[in-house]
Amino acid sequence: MIKELINKAIQAREKSYSPYSNFKVGASVMGESGKIYSGCNIENAAYSPTICAERVAIFKAISNGEREIKKIALIGSTDSFTYPCGVCRQVMTEFASDDFEIIVAKNIEEYVSYSLDDLMPNSFRVRDMGR
Ligand code: THU
């Protein structure tokens, strides 16, 4: 399952639109239904509208009806691990299952796995608004 997710992230990375950074990122998310949704980073000449691969994949899952995500794999395009940015970590907190797993891959063989609490401790969630 983890290798399938990484493989889908690698395939999605091929579609990256990143003419400004030249840094391709791919991500894939497994929703509560077991379906997989993939995404790549999409940049913009105005820079700030740029969106990360992780958010594209998560928003595809949510817009297809998923309400919880179980796993995410991501892969950048250097020889080292690419970790999710802070904005993407915040988006993950909104939809992550209790056993959510973040798989940061260098390639299909080399990856590290984290819980959301590892990467986003004491995050702000709906419960912090007293709901
Ligand atoms: N990027 C991602 O897609 N995910 C990350 O977690 C880090 C950054 C993208 C955004 C931008 O297109 C490029 O990488 C350089 O920041």
pLDDT confidence of residue 86 = 98
> In terms of DSSP bridges, do strands 69-75 and 96-105 run parallel, antiparallel, or are they unpaired?
parallel
Q: What is the pLDDT along the chain (131 residues), one digit of tens a residue?
A: 999 999 999 999 999 999 999 999 999 999 999 999 999 999 999 999 999 999 999 999 999 999 999 999 999 999 899 999 999 999 999 999 999 999 999 999 999 999 999 999 999 998 899 98
Give the residue, by CA position, lying nearest to ligand 1 atom 3.
52
- pLDDT at position 12, please? 98
β-sheet with 96-105: strand ranges across? 36-40, 26-31, 69-75, 96-105, 111-115
Tell me, in angstroms, the distance from the centre of ligand 1 to residue 25's CA.
Answer: 6
pTM: 0.97
25 neighbors 51 (Cβ within 8 angstroms): no
